Structures are given as structure tokens and as C-alpha cells.
Amino acid sequence: MSAEPEITWHPTEDYLNQSRLLAFARTHAVDGYQGLQDWSAADPGGYWDAVVRDLGLTFDPPYEQPVDMHRGKEWPEWFPGSGFDYVSNIFRLAEIRGGADQLAVIWEGDGGDTRSLTFEQLRRETNQLANALENLGVGKGDRVGIFLPMIPETVVAVLACGLIGAIYIPMFSGYGAEAVASRLRDGEARVLITANGFNRRGKLVPLKATADEAMAAAPSIERCIVFDQTQTPAHMQDGRDIWWGDAIEGISSEFTERDIAANDPYMVIYTSGTTGKPKGAVHVHAGFPIKAAHDLAYLFDLHAGERIFWLTDLGWMMGPWLIGGGLLLGATIVIFEGTPDYPNPDRLWEISERHDVNVLGLAPTAIRALMAQGTEWVERHDLSSLRILGSTGEPWNPVPWQWYFEQIGKRKLPIINYSGGTETGGGIVGCVTARPIKSCAFSGPVPGMAADVVDDDGNPVRGSVGELAIRQPWVGMTRGFWRDDERYVDTYWSRIPGMWMHGDWAEVDSDGFWYIRGRSDDTLKVAGKRIGPAEVESAAVAHDAVQEAAAVGVPDELKGETVVVFAVLRPGFVPTAELAESVRQEISRQLGASMRPRSSFSSTIFPRHECQDHAQSHPGVISWTANRGFDLAREPGRGRANCRAGWANVLSLRGMSR
């Protein structure tokens, strides 16, 4: 590990005084953050029982014990025998807080249009769509695909499925037809909810055309509800397709709650693994939404009435996380249909200012792209409403973390770094507003997560890289993979009995701060030394010329494996062999000579490409390697998310593919 960073941010009295985490700890007479960690690791049932009471959640009928683990840690049943509907809890709590007229959702579209819904309006529209779905024959346990951009109707569709006990399958709005079809087929979905289209970078995306192609390859689909988002024509198949407006016409906006058990599934969200077909993580009513609300309350210190904007799509777990967790806490969620740099690179700062955002969440990739445009785009905006900065999706590099902290947070706001996974329902490690923060680091395990860094035998490791593991079950963990329990157990529980092995390298420094070092199935081992790609990438990005980097390993006769680095340059830099050598030396300076590619390297300049999946353009890419025979075009990054435009667009997609 390179030199440990210094503590960058200390909590002020204001942050300490309003901390929900500290208030929760005081209520239960435990010693702050560390006390909550210790309590939850020693007594998971007692801890989560206290959490749901602190959050004001209602179970009807109530549970007699918080957890039943008679099937082992792999299959805990939380709040067994109880009834719990997370959607009804959202609206009940809003009414109790007196916030029925408070804004629940604020939407901004690609072209700058805005719409909003109060909690009462959201309740009525949710009830109406729930009744309409039942009129179309959808019932408890039926699967419903949701293939929509981030618009208010997406929130309505998610909640309506929850009310009737249907199981929704969220999908990225940018998916191609086969990606949609494969999820609909695997989940045997009966209904698809989509739109005729949406706008992206000022151009119409014909979403219904993609949906039609997907439904042709998904024979289980019986009905398709189409929302008119763009006021443009769409092909409508008789007997199958119905416009959203027609489906809800004359339908009551009142709804009688159904009997839903705490452990009834409400969502199957597909996550791509490093190998094999996508995994359908099954989540239940008294699981994922509670975990999301817990993490937002105690890590991000989100309060009722505050506004949270997280740049996400429904197909990424942060979309369902924002909807379920944010609304359960009585916050206003801000959702965005467009892209961060359209029409200008200040779009996110403009949204934050216009809608008085208090909690802003971005992936490091977005910061790396926007920082290259300069600080003048930030300086145009009043961001004084911001109180918390959040990040997740991939490991940070120091330079962009510092830019986020200094330019957006003005060195006053904490960056709540947050890492977990689709299967975990939220964070495993994170920061909190009640503790000091280091660049790129985590305060430690999220309370409720008995996380550890271990060696191959499950023994704790400190001061060097080990595997991220979890020793106790938690609320929010997946109830297995959809109709593939064996694969679930094999993926997470088979290596060390009784221990969840998450598949990440992690490290704890001498001050007790935690770091994620990359995927353990994507490890570099050079001359017998093991290192995560994230460390190599961070070393490369530390160079003034490098905006983005991705590191992969290739076979080497001498070292066993050597490193290949792809570097995306900042504007104004030209890719040359001399520049590649300079970056190579920077990696050596930070990580040691063994991690430096040999001096006899090839340098290649690649043209500008546009990644179709992520609409990210690159002005030039340089690569260097000691293995001249390595065919770059056939090896895009060993298990990282694929990008249709080709391997040159390797822009740190690690973490999106979990």
C-alpha cells in the first residue's frame, strides 16, 4: 500500500448535533458508531429490531422474534410471521409526519422540463395504477418488468407493484432488446411497463420499439402498459398493448391494503457477474427497503423533508434504493432523465441549485468526466443547500475525490463513500457524518454489517490486502437468486463455511480506515505480489495528464503476469511514447518498480470512440505493455462490464457489473 492519506474532514458541532446515528446510539446506550458496529455484530436480531422501531415501521401482524436462522446464515428469515408492506408504510409515515402535502418526487427531464408529486398525489396515482394492474389480471407473486427512464411514473409503477404484492423487475432504460428479453424470460414476467420513448441529449430514444423487439423474444409477456412520455406515435399491438392513460381511466385512486408478509418478494433485480448469465437477486418487502432507509438515515443522515438527488437509473440498485429508502424516511427524491453534461457540463450543479438539493450522490466516473471541463462550470452555481456529498459504484482515485471535496464541497462537506452490492441490498462499508473522513476511504463497516477483511482461511487481516467478508446475516441480503438457490450459495457461501465472501479486495490501514482495492476475481499478481487494479489505476490518475485509467493483467513469462494500463487523457494532452513513459514512472514511484511495465513497451494511439452503453466520449487513449504480442482488441478487461463501442472505452465500469 502507498503512503496513507491524512484525515481530510472532521465533523463540526452541527453535524454531530443533528446526527441520526448518534441519536440512535444514545437511545440504546451504546458508544456511537463503534458501539453500533459491535452491537450489531454480536446481536443482529436485537440490532435490527431496534432499527425498525427507530424508523417507525409498522408490522401487522407483529413479529414475535426479529430473526429465525434455523436454516443457517445463508437463509435467515427476518421478522418471521409478520405482515409488512413497505409501500403502505411510506404513505402512513408521511401522514403521521404531517407531510402528505410535502413533495415526494421532483423530476427534471433532458430538456429542462420539471414535474413534481406530493406524497398525497403519489399515493393516489400509485393506488390508481395498482387497481389498474389488478384489473389486467396481475396478482400477488406475478412478475412485472419495468423498462422506463427516471420519470415520476417509474416511481408510481414501482410502488404500485409493491401494493398488490407483484414482483417487479427493474431494467436499465439504455438496455438493448436482448438484455430486456433475457430478464423477462428468466423472470417469466407477465406484464411489461414501458414508455413510447424519452429524450437523451436532445434526441428521441424510441423505447417502445426496443420493448417490442424484446417482447417478441419473451413469450411470457401477456400485457404491455405504455406511458406517453414524448407525445409521439408508437406501435400498439391489439390485445397486448394499452396506453397508461387508458389503463387508469375511470379507476379509483383508493386502494384496500392486501395481506403481504414481511418475507414476500417484491423485486428481482438482475446483476451481471464476471462470468455466466446475469443473476436475479430476490429481495423482500422487509429487506431491501429497510436496509436502504437504514443506510440513508445513519450514514447519509437523511431527514424527513430533505431533498436527495442521486444520479442513477432504475436498472442500477441505487434507483430502487433511492425510491424505497428515501421515501420511507419522508425525504423528497430528485430524479433526472438526462445526462450529466447536456446541454452543458454544469447540468448536475444546475439541478442541485434549482431544486435546493441537500444530499447529492454521484459515481466517481461522473466526477472524473466533469472535472476535466474545468471549475468555471461549478463556480456559476450557488450550491449552499448541499449538506452531504455521496458516492458509490466503484473505488475512488485521490485526484477526483479531492476535486469533489474541494470544488463541490468547498472543503466543508463530508463525502459519504459507500460500497456494497445488488445482492447485499445496500452498503457493506461506508462513511458517517459523525466520524472523521480520509480521502477515498471508508470509516469502516456499515452498522448492521459484521464485515471483516480476511485471508484465505477466514482469519482477520490488517495492514495488507485481504478479502472482504461478512460474518453475520443482515436485513437486506438477497433471499437467493431467482430459481437458482445453488448458484447463490456457491457464489457467496461456499468458500468459507458460515461466511459471506463478497468478491472484493479490501484493506484496513493503521488508523482503522477501510479501502476497497478492486474485485478479487480481477486481481493482478506481478512477480508474486498481489495488487488490485484500483491501486494501479489510482497511481496512473495521479499523473497530471491522466483523467481516467483502467488496469488489466496479461501473462508474462518472467513475472507470471504484467500490467496493461489504458489511460484516457485530459484535454490538451497528446498521447505520445514520452507521455506514456512519464505515467509509467509515476506508477513506479507510487507502487514500486515491480509494478512498472518494462522499458521496452509499445505505445498505441487510439481514435475517438463513443461508448453506446454509457454515451461517454474519449479524446484519445494510450496503452503500454511489456508483452508486444498481447491482442488488446480481444481482451477488454477480464470480466468487467462490456461496452459495445469496444475495449477502448474501459472507463472504470467496474462496480456497475456486480
3-state DSSP helix/strand/coil percent for the chain, to nearest 5?
Answer: 30, 25, 45
C-alpha span between 134 and 143 (Å, rounded):
13
**pLDDT range class, residue 357, cuts 50, 70, 90:** very high
C-alpha span between 560 and 523 (Å, rounded):
13
Residue 529 pLDDT exceeds 70 = no
C-alpha span between 234 and 241 (Å, rounded):
10
End-to-end CA distance of the chain: 25
Q: What is the tens place of the pLDDT at every residue in 202-236?
A: 999 999 999 999 999 999 999 999 999 999 999 99
Range scoring the smallest mean pLDDT among 16-25, 34-43, 195-204, 270-279: 270-279
C-alpha span between 113 and 92 (Å, rounded):
30
Query: What does 17-58 look like in DSSP terms, one character per residue?
Result: HH-HHHHHHHHTT--HHHHHHHHHHH-HHHHHHHHHHHTT--
Residue 656 pLDDT exceeds 70 = no
Arithmetic mean of pLDDT over the chain:
87
Q: Residues, the chain, total?
A: 658
C-alpha span between 278 and 537 (Å, rounded):
27
Confidence at residue 630, expressed as pLDDT on a 0 to 100 scale = 25
**pLDDT range class, residue 411, cuts 50, 70, 90:** very high
Q: What is the tens place of the pLDDT at every residue in 129-182?
A: 999 999 999 999 999 999 999 999 999 999 999 999 999 999 999 999 998 999
Domains of the chain: 7-79+86-99+285-518 (3.40.50.12780), 118-248 (3.40.50.980), 522-634 (3.30.300.30)
Confidence at residue 605, expressed as pLDDT on a 0 to 100 scale = 35
**pLDDT range class, residue 521, cuts 50, 70, 90:** low
260 against 526, higher pLDDT:
260
Confidence at residue 572, expressed as pLDDT on a 0 to 100 scale = 86
Sheet strands (E) in 143-201: 143-147, 167-170, 191-195, 198-200
Query: Residue written as cell 448469465?
Result: 277
**Chain centre to alpha carbon of residue 72:** 28
Q: How far is CA 217 from CA 111, 144, 156, 220, in A?
A: 33, 16, 27, 9
C-alpha span between 42 and 385 (Å, rounded):
39
Range scoring the smallest mean pLDDT among 467-476, 479-488, 540-549, 592-601: 592-601
Pairing, β 444-445 against β 426-430: antiparallel
C-alpha span between 79 and 286 (Å, rounded):
8
Sheet strands (E) in 480-545: 500-508, 514-519, 524-526, 529-531
405: amino acid identity, one letter: F
- Percent of the chain surpassing pLDDT 90: 73
Q: What is the DSSP letter of 515?
A: E
Q: What is the DSSP letter of 492?
A: H
**Which are the contacts of 126, defined by CB distance < 8 A and separation ≥ 6?**
87, 156, 159, 160, 163, 255
Residue 639 pLDDT exceeds 50 = no
Residue 46 pLDDT exceeds 70 = yes
Confidence at residue 254, expressed as pLDDT on a 0 to 100 scale = 97
And the C-alpha cell for 25?
Answer: 446510539
**pLDDT range class, residue 640, cuts 50, 70, 90:** very low
And the C-alpha cell for 563?
Answer: 500490467
- b/e burial code for range 497-534 (CB count within 10 A of at least 16 → b): eebbbbbbbbbbeeeebbbbbbbbebbbebeeeebbbb
**Chain centre to alpha carbon of residue 508:** 23
User: What is the three-class DSSP state of 216?
Assistant: helix
User: What is the three-class DSSP state of 318?
Assistant: helix
Instruction: List Cβ<8 Å contacts ≥24 apart for 406-411.
Output: 407/371, 407/375, 407/378, 408/349, 408/360, 408/378, 408/383, 410/383, 411/9
Contact 241, 250 (CB under 8 A): no
What average pLDDT does the segment 466-492 reach?
96
Query: What does 124-156 look like in DSSP terms, one character per residue?
Result: HHHHHHHHHHHHTT--TT-EEEEE--SSHHHHH
C-alpha span between 341 and 345 (Å, rounded):
4
